[in-house]
Amino acid sequence: MKNQELAKIFSEMSMFLKIKNVSFKPQAYEKAALNLKSLTEDVEKIYKREGKNGLKRIPGIGENIAEKIIEYLKGGKIKAYEKLKQKMPVKIQELTQIESVGPKMVAALYQHLAITNLKELEVAARQKKIRNLPNFGVKTEENILKSIMFLKRNKGRFLLGHIYSRVEEILSLLKNFKEVKKISIAGSARRMKETIGDIDILVTTENPKKVMDYFISLPEVIKIWDHGLTKSSVRMRDGFDVDLRVVKDREFGSALQYFTGSKEHNIALRKIAIEKGLKLNEYGIFKGKKRIAGKTEEEIYAALGLPYIEPEMRTNTGEIETALRQTRGKHNGLPKIINYNSIKGDLHIHSNWNGGEDFIKEIAKVAQDMGYEYIGISDHTKFLRIEHGLNEKQLLAQHKEIRKLNREYSMHNTEFRILHGCEANILEDGTLDINDKVLSQLDYVIAGVHSQMKMPKKQMTERIIRAMRNPNVDIISHPTGRLIKRRDEYAIDFDKILEVAKETNIALEINSFPDRLDLKDTNIKKAVEQGVKLIINTDSHSINHLGFIKFGIGQARRGWATKKDIINTWPLKKIKKFFEKKV
C-alpha cells in the first residue's frame, strides 16, 4: 500500500512550497497528504479500478495531485518533488520534528550553514553558530538543543498505555484540590491516540494562582517550563510534559473542544461556523460580538447544527460529513460507538501455566471485581518454547482445572464463568501446533502468528487464511503483528483476510496491549464496514495488564465500532453460540 509513502511526499512538498512563499498550494498538499494517510483503501487499487477519476474522488485530490499520484504509481517518482528536493536537499521532515523549527527556519539553516539533517543541526547548535543567524538568537539555539535532546531521549512520543496511569494520578490529585471546580483531560490523550506528545489538562477555578502553585509543586514535577495564571507547563519524572490551563467557567466547553482537537477537526468546525456567519474559537461561538455558546461541548456542536461527536472520532476523516447528513435526515448518521463499560469479558489472558505470572483463580477474582461476567484463559501452545507453551496433554489437564473452578462458581450460585481456550501458533504452512482433536474440546481457539513474520505477502496471507479455515479456530490474535515504533505490520492482504473472516465467522482481535493496539483504527473501520466481527482482548500476562482493556476500547472507538460489532460485549450464552458457529 503506497498511501503512506505518497502522504509523506506530499507533506514534504507542502513544506518546500511554504519555504518558497507559495500561497495556498502548501495547504492543498498538506490536505492531500492527510487524506491519503487516513485513507482505508489502497490508493493503487482505486486507480486500477477507477482510473484518475477514482483518485479525484478522494477529498483534497484534484487534477494535478491525481496526476502526481499516477506518476508515482507508474514510476516510483514524482518529478516536481524531486525538483523541490534538488534545490534544497534537506531532511525536512526530520528537521521540522524539532519544536519551533518549521519550513522557514529549515531554509535559513540550509542557506547560511548548509544544515541538511538533525545531526548537523545539533553540531551547529553546540558550536553556537545558530545564534548569529539573522532572526535567530541565543534562546532559539538553546531551545533547538533542548528539543533535540528530548527527541533523542524519547523518540518524540509516548505510548498512551505507558503513561496513562500516571496521568490519572495527576488528574485525581488536581480533582481533589479544593480550589479546582471543573477539570478534564484534553488533547490527544482524551482522543485515546496510540501515542501522545504531551498531556493537556483544563480546569476552572476562582483562584488560578493557588491552583497553578499547587500544580507546579506536585511531587512528580522535575522541571517547570512555564508558570503563569492561565497556563503552566511542567516535565514529569517519567519524562512527559503536562500543560495545565485555567479557563473561565463559561468558556469551559469551547476550550475543551478546542484543546481536544484534532487540529483538522477544529479547522473543519471553524469553516462550518463561518458558513453560518459565526466565529468559533477557544472562548466560544460568537455571532458578531455576542457569545451564543461556550459552556459545554454539546452546546458548541449544537450551535453548529451538529450532534455531539465523541473525542475519539474527532479526526476530520468523515465524522463531520456523516454527522451533517444525520442532522439533515439523509443518513443513519454517526454510529453509537462502544462504551468503556461495555466489555463483559476478556478472552485473551495468559496464566502461570505458561509464561504468565498468575494463577487462574486469582485472575478470575480480579476479573470479577472488574465487573466481568466471564473470562477466557488462552495460554500459548507448544511451538512457543520461550513462553513455555502447553502441549496437548497439558491443555487437557488445564481444561480439567477450569471445569473444577466453574463447578465451584456454580455451587456458590455465582454466574461468573471461565472459558477455556488457547492461543495456538499458526505455523509456516498455516497449520496449527495443536491437533484438532484437542482443539475441538476447548471452548474456543485463538490462532496467532508468532514466527517467520517476514514472509512475502501472498504466502503470509495464504498462511493465515488456511488457519482461519480450520473449523476449530474462532479468533485471530493481533492480526497484523505490528509493534508500535518497533516493528511494522507483516505483509498481508487485509482485504482478503476480512473476506475470509466474514465467510468463516471468525472474530479478529483488537489487542489492547499498549505497544500492539492491533488492529489499528483504519483496519477496524474497514472491518466494521464489511460486517466482520471483532473482539477486544488484553493479551494479559499478569493481572496488572487486565486494565489495558480501555486502550483497546479506545482503539475500537476510533475505528467507529459499535457494541454489536464486538463479540465480547455479548452475554456468555451468545458468545458461546458464536464459537459453536451457530450465529
Residue 187 touches DNA, criterion: CB under 7 A: yes
Nearer to DNA, 198 or 495 (CB): 198
Question: Nearer to DNA by C-beta: 12 or 200?
Answer: 200
CB 198 → DNA: shortest distance, Å?
Answer: 7
Q: What is the DSSP track for 375-399?
A: EEEEEEBTT-GGGT-B-HHHHHHHH
101 vs 439, beta carbon nearer DNA: 101
Core vs surface per residue 382-396: b (16+ CB within 10 A) or e? bbbeebbbbebebbe
Is position 289 an interface residue for DNA (rule: CB under 7 A)? no
Per-residue binder mask for DNA (CB under 7 A), 234-273, x = binder: -------------------------x-x-x--xx--xx--
Give 230 or 414: the residue with its C-beta nearer to DNA. 230
What are phi and psi for residue 355, nearest 5 degrees?
Answer: -80, -10
List the interface residues with DNA, window 102-161 (CB under 7 A).
102-106, 131, 134-140, 143
The answer to whether residue 377 forms part of the interface with DNA (CB under 7 A) is no
Nearer to DNA, 240 or 444 (CB): 240
Please say whether the beta carbons of 39 and 16 come within 8 A.
Answer: no
- In whole angstroms, the minimum distance from the beta carbon of 63 to DNA comes to 5
In terms of phi and psi (left: phi > 0; alpha: psi -120 to 50; beta: otherwise), the region of 321 is alpha
84: Cβ–Cβ under 8 A, 6 or more apart, which residues? Answer: 12, 13, 16, 17
Which residues, in sequence order, are CB contacts of 310 under 8 Å at separation 6+? 337, 557
Stretch near DNA under the rule CB under 7 A, chosen from 25-33, 358-366, 453-461, 529-537: 25-33
* Cβ proximity of 528 and 561 under 8 Å: yes
Distances (CA, A) of 293 to 86, 255, 272, 310, 316: 50, 11, 15, 18, 22
By beta-carbon proximity to DNA, the closer residue of 131 and 181 is 131
How far is it, in rounded angstroms, from Cα 297 to Cα 257?
A: 6
> Closest approach of Cβ 304 to DNA, in Å?
13
E strands, 228-273, in order:
231-236, 241-246
Q: Which is nearer to DNA, 23 or 332 (CB)?
A: 23
Site string for DNA, 73-112 (x = CB under 7 A): -------x---------------x-xxxxxxxxx------
Contact range with DNA by CB under 7 A, out of 17-25, 120-128, 349-357, 426-434? 17-25
Burial zone of 447 (CB within 10 Å; 0-12 exposed, 13-18 middle, 19+ buried): buried
Q: Is 227 in the site for DNA (CB under 7 A)?
A: no
Q: Which of 28, 212, 455, 556 binds DNA (CB under 7 A)?
A: 28
Q: Judged by CB under 7 A, does residue 56 bind DNA?
A: yes
DSSP output for 472-500:
T--EESSTT--BTTTBPPP---HHHHHHH
Among residues 200, 423, 474, 509, the one that binds DNA under rule CB under 7 A: 200
Which one, 87 or 581, has the nearer CB to DNA? 87
Report, in Å, the least distance between residue 375 CB and DNA: 39
The residue (of 32 and 439) whose beta carbon lies closer to DNA is 32
Q: Is 62 in the site for DNA (CB under 7 A)?
A: yes
Neighbours of 214 (CB within 10 A): 17
Per-position DSSP letters for 192-216, written without gaps between them: T-SEES-EEEEEEES-HHHHHHHHH
> Contact region for DNA (CB under 7 A) — 54-62, 174-182, 488-496, 564-572?
54-62
Q: How far is the CB of 13 from DNA (least distance, A)?
A: 9
Which residue, 100 or 441, is less far from DNA as judged by CB? 100
Residue 230 binds DNA, judged by CB under 7 A = yes
In whole angstroms, give the CA distance from residue 143 to residue 543: 42
Q: Which residues contact 449 (CB under 8 A, 6 or more apart)?
A: 425, 426, 460, 463, 464, 481, 490
- What's the closest the beta carbon of residue 545 comes to DNA, in angstroms? 31
Whether the CB-CB separation of 320 and 268 falls below 8 Å is answered with yes
Task: For DNA, give the closer residue by CB, 80 or 159.
Answer: 80
The three cell numbers locating residue 290? 455576542
Give me 443's grid cell.
471452548
Q: Which of residues 158-177 bind DNA (CB under 7 A)?
A: none
Q: Please report whether residue 64 would count as binding DNA according to CB under 7 A.
A: yes
DSSP 8-class letter at 339: P
Contact call for residue 54 and DNA (CB under 7 A): no
Q: Give whichever of 331 and 457 is closer to DNA, judged by the CB atom.
A: 331
Pairing of strands 290-293, 446-448: unpaired
Q: How many residues bind DNA (CB under 7 A)?
A: 56
**For DNA, the closer CB: 142 or 462:** 142
- Residue 36 touching DNA (CB under 7 A): no
Specify the residue, 24 or 582, whose C-beta has the smaller distance to DNA: 24
Sign of the C-alpha dihedral computed for residues 320, 322, 323 and 327 taken in this order: positive
For residues 321 and 189, give the distance between their C-alpha atoms in angstroms, rounded to a whole number: 24
Q: Which of 114, 149, 274, 397 binds DNA (CB under 7 A)?
A: 274
Task: Tell me: does residue 229 bind DNA (CB under 7 A).
Answer: no
The one segment of 60-68, 359-367, 395-403, 550-558 that binds DNA by CB under 7 A: 60-68
Among 9, 33, 43, 66, binds DNA (CB under 7 A): 66
Q: How far is the CB of 10 from DNA (least distance, A)?
A: 9
CA distances to 11, 119, 449, 470, 487 from 155, in Å? 20, 14, 28, 42, 15
Residue from the set 18, 350, 478, 545 that interacts with DNA by CB under 7 A: 18
Cell of 253: 466547553
- CA gap 374, 416 in Å, rounded: 5
User: Any idea which residue has 476550550 for its cell?
Assistant: 255
Site residues for DNA per CB under 7 A: 18, 23-25, 27-29, 31-32, 56, 59-66, 80, 96, 98-106, 131, 134-140, 143, 187, 197, 200, 226, 230-231, 259, 261, 263, 266-267, 270-271, 274, 279-282
